[in-house]
Structure 1
Amino acid sequence: MADWNRGHGSVDGMLDAENKRLADNLATKVSRLKSLAYEIDREADDQNDYLDGMDSNFLSATGLLSGSVKRFSTVVRSGRDNRRLLCYVSLGMVLVFFLLYYIVSRIQH
């Protein structure tokens, strides 16, 4: 009977050691998951801040474009002289852009 108790005690010791090893392994994995969850939360906050900034930038660009469209519509609806001036300015801007494109492409080669 004494041998059985001693054998039973060694099995308990082995099971206890195995449980401790598995508990340590589990604690390591839980700690790793906790740090990953913290990093994901921080990244989500950073992305939300970035998107909020983009939203305000888009709103300001929308305001700028709508004001430009209103001014352009006013010029187009006004008299013939303004339309002619608008045509000359537009043609001049296109020529300037082509000239700049040509100069930059020559410099790069």
Structure 2
Amino acid sequence: MGSRNGWSNLSEEAVDKENRDYQERLSSKAAYLKSLAFDIETEAKDHHRLLDDVGGDFDTSTGLLGGTLSRVQKLLGQGRTNRQIMCYTILVIIFTFIILTYIISSSRS
């Protein structure tokens, strides 16, 4: 075995083998990190799309609730006749609720 610059051929081969092992491990870690970055990107795009959909749903419901509230205010502001109709409607709803509660409780026992 000859030596070159203080290194024997055996130790050079061992260092080369160790370097190849490190290179393979580094390559596999880089591939894992790349796949992880792609997964994060996909997940972020999905969440962004879902948040856009939720924002659109909130806008729609805000418009619907605003329209309903304006109709109720208009109904309340139109005078005594509409107040009587609204009072009768509320009484019918309460009466129906009480009857349904009684029917459900009597069917359970």
Bin of the TM-score, shorter chain as denominator length: 0.7 to 0.9
1:40 partnered with 2:72: no
2:12 is aligned to 12
Normalized per residue, the structure richer in helix is 1
Cα distance in structure 2, aligned partners of 1:40 and 1:105: 52
Q: After superposition, where does 1:53-64 map in structure 2 within 5 Å?
A: 53-64=53-64
1:91 Cα deviation after fit: 3.3
CA RMSD in angstroms, aligned pairs only: 2.7
1:88 is aligned to 88
Same amino acid, percent of matched pairs: 32
Structure 1's 9 and 50: CA in aligned 2 closer, same or farther, altered over 3 A? same
1:78 Cα deviation after fit: 1.1
Cα distance in structure 1, aligned partners of 2:44 and 2:102: 44
Structure 1's 7 and 104: CA in aligned 2 closer, same or farther, altered over 3 A? farther
Cα distance in structure 2, aligned partners of 1:108 and 1:86: 33
Cα distance in structure 2, aligned partners of 1:99 and 1:25: 74
Higher relative contact order (CA 8 A, sep 6+): 1
1:83 match: secondary structure: helix
Give the gaps of 5 or more residues in structure 1: none
Give the gaps of 5 or more residues in structure 2: none
Cα distance in structure 1, aligned partners of 2:102 and 2:20: 74
Residues 16-41 of structure 1: per-residue CA shift (max 9 Å, x gap):
10010011001111111110110110
